[in-house]
Amino acid sequence: MFRTAIRNLWSSPFGLSHSAPRVALAAVAVATALGFAGGSALAAPVRGGAANIAMIGEPQTLDPMASTADLVGIITQHVYELLYTFDANWNVTPMLAESMPAISKDGLVYTIPLRKGVKFHNGKEMTSDDVVASLKRWQDTAPRGKAVAKEIKSLEAKGPNTIVITLNRPYAPLLAHLALPNGFAAIMAKDSIATPLTQFIGTGPYMFKERKPDQYVQLVRYDGYSARKEPASGYAGKREAWIDELRFIPVPNANTRVEGSLSGQYQFADLLPVESYARLENAPNVKPVLTSPFGFPYLVLNTKQGPLTSVTLRQAVEAALNNADMMGAGFGDPKFYTTEASHYARNTPFYSTAGTENYGKGDAKKAATLVANGKYDGTPIKILTSQQYDFHYRMALVMAENLKAAGFKVDMQVVDWSTLIQRRNDPALWDIYITHSAVLPDPTLTPPQLGDGAPGWWSSPAKEAALSALNAEADPKKRGALWGSVQAVVFTEVPYIRVGYFNSVTARSPKLEGYVAMPWPFFWNTWLDK
Amino acid sequence: MTSVATIPVIGAPSRSPSAIIVRKLFRRKLVLAGAAILVVVTLLALFAPWVTPYDPMAMKISDRIQSPRAAHWFGTDELGRDVFSRVVFGARYSLTIGALVVLISVTGGVLLGLTAGFFRRLDGPIMRLVDAMMSFPDILLAIALVAVLGTSMTNVILALAIVYTPRVARVVRASTLVVRELLFIEAARALGVSTWRILFIHILNNIASPILVQATFIFAYAVLAEAGLSFLGVGVPPDLPTWGTMIASGQQFAHQAIWLVVFPGVAIVLAALSLQMVGDGFRDLLDPKLRKAM
Amino acid sequence: MTRYLASRFAGMVIVMLLVATIVFFITRLAPGDPAAVMLGDQATAADIAKLRTSYGLDKPLPLQFGYWLGELVHGNLGQSIFLQRPVTQALLERAEPTFFLTLFSIAIATLIGVPCGIIAAVWRGKTIDQFFSGFAMLGASIPSFWFGLILMQIFAVSLGWFPVAGYGDPGAPLSDRLHHLVLPSIVLGVVNSALILRFTRASMLDVLGDDHIRTARAKGLSEASVILRHALRNALIPVLTVLGLTFALLIGGAIVTETVFGLPGVGNLVVSAVLRRDYPVIQGALLVIAGLYVLINLAIDLLYLVVDPRVKY
């Protein structure tokens, strides 16, 4: 990264004259300190402009708690903030909280100090009342919130700037859940809280201006934003809104997103097909951003209703799938994916080979035996997928062929993403659906099937036992080993199947500076060069 | 409308109108060309499994996105499937859908049109309904119907048949109105021939030609409409290899693999074109006033 | 004349009522629950039931229809479930791109179709006729979305002469917007010129065979004068009918073309509404479009009165 910075010293235009070298050196120092991920961080930030950001579709809602869809979180994280957040190394860092909480010795009581003088978009100052009301709503509305609610005995304000959370039993992932910007515990102005949400009053660097469904969601800079003082790192630290206006534009056609990036129509385009990488690399007015690894596609199996309530049949599905083929179909060039059985990569503390012998290699014979053992009665397996994420659909096609080879009957249902999200809540309507998730640092953050009540409805004594052990352990070094037992249960009971890892391709205009790639793209601290 | 020479006289041996038409047809080169293309497409569709080198659904990830070459005449798609085989099998779907749509819409249209044309009191209500149906642009009505019925091949056929029935009904009614007034029909009625026989044997026989012309064009429209519906994602399920779904999944690779879009499209054009050439030929042979009845 | 107008109007009302009935029952009988879609993936059954009540989705069907008709008469097309705004507003917001697209497409289609049709008729049987007639048949066989994709690849992606998709940034000037409409208009215009060409040709041929044309020629008038002054005026009258038909074709074509080129028009709205089961929007769009079509046909018939002296009601 240092080398890139030095290289950029000579190539990027400063527009300054005699003070250039000194400014440059200082800028390099600043760049390293701020942790910018390479790129020309040496040009001075420019205030102004409007950015067109092409997204994969129209967000179903602008209520950050109501949906775990990435799209919703990406947009609303500019408007709302959380008590805690993640820095570049995925450490939990205070955001609206003043500092890390004071935790009682038994691990049951968290006392969280709040920052003073933080203003909402309506001009009112944030108090513990707003926080308590928001967190209560989160516990009622968001799936993550509902899962965490089970662990929480009480949640109260202690004076205007402190809140106290008391748990039923030690729960190590509490702060991580409060920090995750997806289906998130957004701190909303108490007066704006309603269901459905019609006013979007948060504390973020941008505020909501207008939404024209299927055309754009428009956010504008909030001039009264109270920024933190620490330097920016990941999602944490100081947030500056350089760009005047952010326009999130739904562009469901991936092709159009690519072409729009190439022509300079969009300053940023999310989730581009990996095939377009080569073209993006060679084009003059666009810079592709490869995030590796970005996420993992996974299949959720319906354990509540239908033929897959049988564990044996689920194991048959697991054995029948040729994961390598599925990844190839989804992403094409091996440069864009890894076929890895373990749920966590080798360089993470959670790497484990427990259960990985069951990782599907397309063994139709083994699967057929399991199908017979499971007394499959011929009911077609309903596969629910959408074409809006193109790799989902291609993977589903391969999956269908794999299942048929094992003797399953298959009923492919291709619907649009909003319909899929609705249908997956009804156990009568599907047996397998495909989705994906970003790679996150803590095992309990994703997939939601490790929690309660998420589609799939997995619940079993083995799951409870393994997860309780994992969550009770606060020491990160020991958690790694405990994860292995959970992984083993997942491979045996097959509530979901992780297919592999993939890298995401997004693209930004070379004029969009300061962009730091994180799983859910954000645009504070970025600016548009003139 | 039929020309005087082809009105059969009751009791006399009839020179079948269809035989006369077929003979005249083959004298025109354009029609011949169209018919030839149609025959080739039909044969390919019928003998698809024997004509195609690969199974259209067989995936081979390692062979994905290959340009046209000896092993794959039309190249391969994003899952390694052979495009030529898929295009040929696509013909099966398109022709089947087209034929069934024609069958259903002609049956329905004839029933409605005959009724409206022959029974004066039913004419008003039926034609109002027909007018109402024809107030919707075809694709729009088809989309709405498929939304109701669900995306499946059966429902697409049903939806398109409903969309085109009013057209047939109009043509049938117009012709029926004319033929009804002809002398021989009055004579038949005077003789006590049952209404059924009059309607379905005598009148129908004489309006067969305009129906045939309409049917051919509806076949072409159905092929085009199905492609459009499937492309939008409201037609047949996308895992079926129809020309429309192929173009839909091919469009995101259009830059590096234009063959994925070109070949299915050309197939659609050939099918629709040949049908229209044949239909044109039919129409040119009949009374020029027929053109207005369309 | 007044009697004719009155009876036409009455007929129109009946047709529109039938259209309304068809539209209502088509969309209501569809499976899928729009309330669940709108509330998002975390909706409880109780939330969904509450929303269904507020939209009147739990009352018996005929009652819903009556209520809906009543609203229609007041010009209220209902509230879009997904977009959370009145259907009328949603349609108006999206009307501009579709309006311009239709306008330009008709202009292009007419500018190509009419002159070529005339030329084809005048030089009937010659090469130019065969060429134009062949072109017309080809045009009627090309799926507009495919043609759009191909043109987009060549002129927008490879050559970069036109923007690939969309309608321009919010607040962009009209000229930028029109730039985005060039390719889509060409696609629709060319494909629909086929029908206009054939009709013009057929109509001209009809007229050219008429007695009064022979008289004009016998009088010694120049061929150009015969064609342009005597034949054309009469030939263009039936072409008016085709324009009405073309409008319907264009709306249908616009639906597909807007999807290909990512134009935020009414057609795109209908497709999204269908995919998302947004009943009020589907109904509203169908009604408005059908209604426009009926009105246009009425207007054309009235135009006949003015233009064609032979027509008397």
Percentage of residues in chain B with pLDDT exceeding 70?
87
Decide if A298 contacts A498 (C-beta within 8 A): yes
Strands (E), A114-170: 152-157, 162-167
Half-sphere exposure of A230 (CA within 13 A, CB side): 15
Residues from chain A contacting residue B255 (CB–CB below 8 Å): 255, 258, 276, 279
Phi, psi of A337, deg, nearest 5: -155, 165
Q: Does C36 touch chain A (CB under 8 A)?
A: yes
Percentage of residues in chain C with pLDDT exceeding 70?
88
- Is the Cβ pair A215, C169 closer than 8 Å? no
Return all residues near B46 (Cβ < 8 A) that are at least 6 apart: none
Beta-bridge partner residues of A301: A432
- Looking at A38-47, B20-29, B253-262, B265-274, which range is the least confident one? B20-29
Q: Which of A372, A378, A376, A396 is nearest to A386 (CA)?
A: A396
Residues from chain B contacting residue C23 (CB–CB below 8 Å): 144
Q: Does C300 touch chain A (CB under 8 A)?
A: no
Residues from chain C contacting residue B284 (CB–CB below 8 Å): none
- Looking at A235-239, A254-258, B72-76, C15-19, which range is the least confident one? A254-258
* Identity at A478, one-letter amino acid code: K
Q: What is the pLDDT of residues A165-209, one digit of tens each?
A: 999 988 888 998 999 998 899 999 999 888 778 899 999 999 999
* Identity at B195, one-letter amino acid code: T
Q: What is the pLDDT of residues C75-113, one digit of tens each?
A: 777 777 777 788 888 898 888 889 899 989 999 998 999
Which residue, among B128, B139, B275, would best test binding to C if mutated, counting the most C CBs under 10 Å from its CB? Answer: B139
- Quote the ipTM score: 0.83
Q: CA-CA distances (angstroms) from residue B169 to B95, B106, B173, C242, C297?
A: 23, 8, 6, 20, 19
Q: What is the pLDDT of residues A279-313, one digit of tens each?
A: 889 888 899 998 888 889 999 999 999 999 999 99
pLDDT-derived band at A419, boundaries 50, 70, 90: confident
How far is C259 from A295, CA to CA, in rounded Å? 30
A411: helix, strand or coil: strand
- Is the Cβ pair A214, C33 closer than 8 Å? no
pLDDT at B11: 41
Which residue, among A253, A418, A449, would best test binding to C if mutated, counting the most C CBs under 10 Å from its CB? Answer: A418
Q: Which of A99, A85, A112 is nearest to A166 (CA)?
A: A112
Which position has the higher pLDDT, B203 or A164? A164
Q: Which of C286, C255, C251, C273 is nearest to C23 (CA)?
A: C286
A301, containing H or E segment: strand A287-301
* Identity at A287, one-letter amino acid code: K
Residues from chain B contacting residue A414 (CB–CB below 8 Å): 233, 237-239
What tokens were used for A42? 């040496």
Cα-Cα-Cα-Cα torsion A455, A460, A463, A467, nearest 10 degrees, comes to 80
Longest dimension (CA), chain B: 76
Q: Does A247 touch chain C (CB under 8 A)?
A: yes
In chain C, the residue whose alpha carbon lies closest to the alpha carbon of B265 is C146
Q: What mean pLDDT comes out for the span A109-125?
A: 93
Q: Which of A341, A368, A320, A340 is nearest to A490 (CA)?
A: A341
Which residue, among A261, A277, A279, A325, would best test binding to B if mutated, counting the most B CBs under 10 Å from its CB? Answer: A325
Q: How far is B160 from chain C (nearest CA, A)?
A: 14
The number of C-beta contacts closer than 8 angstroms across A and C is 87
What tokens were used for A416? 């649009």
Q: What mean pLDDT comes out for the span C160-172?
A: 75
Peptide bond into A447 cis (omega under 30): yes
**In angstroms, how far is CA B222 from the centroid of its own chain?**
5
A52, containing H or E segment: strand A50-55
Among candidates B139, B143, B258 on the partner chain, residue whose Cβ is nearest the Cβ of C153 = B258
- Looking at A41-45, C210-214, C255-259, which range is the least confident one? A41-45
What tokens were used for C192? 């629909």
pLDDT-derived band at B26, boundaries 50, 70, 90: low
Among candidates A50, A141, A260 on the partner chain, residue whose Cβ is nearest the Cβ of C164 = A260
Q: What mean pLDDT comes out for the span B208-222?
A: 91
pLDDT at C248: 77
- Is the Cβ pair C37, A419 closer than 8 Å? yes
- Is the Cβ pair A255, B251 closer than 8 Å? yes
pLDDT for residue A21 is more than 60: no
Among candidates A254, A329, A400 on the partner chain, residue whose Cβ is nearest the Cβ of B252 = A254
- Is the Cβ pair A390, B57 closer than 8 Å? no
Percentage of residues in chain B with pLDDT exceeding 90?
41
Return all residues near A79 (Cβ < 8 A) that are at least 6 apart: A62, A121, A200, A202, A204, A206, A207, A208, A219
Q: What mean pLDDT comes out for the span C27-41?
A: 58
Among candidates C42, C269, C275 on the partner chain, residue whose Cβ is nearest the Cβ of A141 = C42
In chain A, the residue whose alpha carbon lies closest to the alpha carbon of B250 is A255
Q: How far is B166 from chain C (nearest CA, A)?
A: 14
- Is the Cβ pair A50, C41 closer than 8 Å? no
Decide if C8 contacts C301 (C-beta within 8 A): yes
- Is the Cβ pair A329, B251 closer than 8 Å? no
Rg (CA), chain A: 24
Residues of A near B (Cβ–Cβ under 8 Å) read 253-255, 258, 273, 275-276, 279, 325, 328-329, 332, 387, 390, 393-394, 397-398, 400-401, 412-414, 416
Task: Write down which chains contact chain B via at least 3 CB pairs under 8 A.
Answer: A, C
Residues from chain B contacting residue C198 (CB–CB below 8 Å): none
Q: What's the CA angle centered on A224, arms A221 and A225, to 5 degrees?
A: 70
- Is the Cβ pair C150, B262 closer than 8 Å? yes
Residues from chain A contacting residue B155 (CB–CB below 8 Å): none
pLDDT for residue A437 is more than 60: yes
Task: Write down which chains contact chain A via at least 3 CB pairs under 8 A.
Answer: B, C
Q: How far is A399 from chain B (nearest CA, A)?
A: 11
pLDDT for residue A84 is more than 90: yes
C286: helix, strand or coil: helix
Residues from chain C contacting residue A140 (CB–CB below 8 Å): none
Query: What residue spans of A412-474 are helical by DSSP H?
Result: 417-423, 461-472
pLDDT for residue A78 is more than 90: yes
| Helices and strands in chain A, H and E counts | 15, 20
pLDDT at A112: 94
- Is the Cβ pair B144, C153 closer than 8 Å? no
Which residue, among B252, B255, B258, B260, would best test binding to A if mutated, counting the most A CBs under 10 Å from its CB? Answer: B252
Q: What is the pLDDT of residues A51-70, one digit of tens each?
A: 999 998 888 789 999 888 88
Residues from chain B contacting residue C19 (CB–CB below 8 Å): 132, 135-136
Q: What mean pLDDT comes out for the span B36-60?
A: 91
pLDDT for residue C70 is more than 60: yes
Rg (CA), chain B: 22
The number of C-beta contacts closer than 8 angstroms across B and C is 137
Q: Which of A314-328, A408-422, C51-65, C207-221 has the highest mean pLDDT?
A: A314-328
- Is the Cβ pair C14, B234 closer than 8 Å? no
pLDDT for residue A368 is more than 80: yes
Residues from chain A contacting residue C271 (CB–CB below 8 Å): none
Longest dimension (CA), chain A: 81
pLDDT at B19: 60
Residues from chain B contacting residue A328 (CB–CB below 8 Å): 61-62, 64
B257: helix, strand or coil: coil
- Is the Cβ pair B79, A255 closer than 8 Å? no
Decide if A251 contacts A55 (C-beta within 8 A): yes
pLDDT for residue A4 is more than 50: no
How far is A59 from A250, CA to CA, in rounded Å? 8
pLDDT at C300: 81
- Is the Cβ pair A397, B59 closer than 8 Å? yes
A297, containing H or E segment: strand A287-301
How far is A23 from A44, CA to CA, in rounded Å? 10
How far is B48 from B87, CA to CA, in rounded Å? 10
Longest dimension (CA), chain C: 85
- Is the Cβ pair C157, A424 closer than 8 Å? no
Which position has the higher pLDDT, B275 or A263? B275
Q: What is the pLDDT of residues A208-219, one digit of tens each?
A: 999 887 788 999
Among candidates C39, C169, C272 on the partner chain, residue whose Cβ is nearest the Cβ of A214 = C272
Which residue, among A271, A387, A411, A415, would best test binding to B if mutated, counting the most B CBs under 10 Å from its CB? Answer: A387
How far is B212 from B22, CA to CA, in rounded Å? 12
Which position has the higher pLDDT, B100 or B285? B100
Among candidates C238, C255, C275 on the partner chain, residue whose Cβ is nearest the Cβ of B139 = C255
pLDDT-derived band at A384, boundaries 50, 70, 90: very high
- Is the Cβ pair C259, B276 closer than 8 Å? no
How far is A311 from A291, CA to CA, in rounded Å? 35
pLDDT at A120: 94
Decide if A33 contacts A230 (C-beta within 8 A): no
